[in-house]
Structure 1
């Protein structure tokens, strides 16, 4: 476990999930997000040339830069070698957890059911990503917190400015911001000012009215 990772993530509360077919400049994208108050960036493995983007982003400023949609030990090793500061999986992936632990890299394992949350904890997850969060709503995270009060939960999948505050108030340590903040078309256009504007608007929403 990596307590510093968890404490920083809990303080910052949001991870921008980048899933884009074209990224002109990964370092500039990260800088734009940070300018808007988003300090955690997850580049997903479905992004072409992911390792190259990670190296570019990490060379500029690797703080908070990680890799997501990691499914295998080989993928985990490649992305750790490229500089990923943490790994995220879409489900419980034991070999990814083992590889991350061996490398001393934090891992956020995906889960949905109580059984899967328990399995993620057994595998040594630093936090557990509840996906797809929107399909079940903030109340589901609140229910999970009953039997798992000490498990750090991250809400992912369909989280936006309208419901993010609700997930946080339901007990999520952080939420994942997707296309509302890092829209593929805006990323491809290298409109960094717009990325910063979207990031700031999302961050501002985190203290808003409770979602449904």
Structure 2
């Protein structure tokens, strides 16, 4: 695979410069490489495919072979982690604390974003060596929650996921999120399944433009 696996520090630096990850949950992806290219054309360089999509490792391999920075989310087991890394994943993402996934990623030298919500879970994710901590569901707690977490955990790399859209993404970044996850606001399942890449690019542009200062 041609995907370069960044170190945790390299991933954090890259996310700080390019702070949007498109999270794709679709029943079908006709061309994963074309999907990633459409997102990149709209200004989103990071793509997270998920194990909720059938044959995700096949899609991952095609995107990785084309050289796109692509990872896999909803990783629940060590076996899934190994499958994703073997297929070319540049990073792994979990919906919650998954120690065996973290251990598998560390053995492979790959960064992992562990899901958490409470301050205790954030501490556990850091103890498990997370490159960044994914806070889910972000919208339910709002941007202010990220500022609150920076109190006991100054500088902790937090990623906002769940309900993030063009209207609130900038607020999450302004309140301490390192990066945000763009879901159906950018990659609606039906649009992805239809292979409407021009619409994906349009949505990605709208999302990234909303992050720029007025």
The TM tier, using the shorter chain, reads over 0.9
- What is the CA–CA distance in structure 2 between the aligned matches of 1:188 and 1:208, rounded to whole Å? 33
Match of 2:101 in 1: 96
**What CA deviation, in whole Å up to 9, does each residue of 1:27-82 have, x standing for no partner?**
000000000000000001101000100011011113x2000000110110011001
Displacement of 1:208: 5.2
Displacement of 1:10: 1.1
1:170 aligned residue (170, 175, 181): 175
- What is the CA–CA distance in structure 2 between the aligned matches of 1:140 and 1:73, rounded to whole Å? 31
Match of 1:50 in 2: 56
SS where residue 61 of structure 1 aligns? coil
1:35 aligned residue (31, 41, 51): 41
Count of aligned residue pairs for this structure pair: 208
- What is the CA–CA distance in structure 2 between the aligned matches of 1:162 and 1:72, rounded to whole Å? 34
TM-score, normalised on structure 2?
Answer: 0.95
2:164 aligned residue (144, 159, 164): 159
Displacement of 1:150: 2.3
Gaps of 5+ in 1: none
**What CA deviation, in whole Å up to 9, does each residue of 1:119-173 have, x standing for no partner?**
0000000000000000000011110010011210000000001110100000000
- What is the CA–CA distance in structure 1 between the aligned matches of 2:85 and 2:179, rounded to whole Å? 23
Displacement of 1:185: 1.0
Displacement of 1:111: 0.2
1:4 aligned residue (10, 22, 27): 10
- What is the CA–CA distance in structure 2 between the aligned matches of 1:57 and 1:87, rounded to whole Å? 15
Equivalent residue runs for 1:12-161 within 5 Å: 12-62=18-68, 64-161=69-166
Displacement of 1:189: 1.2
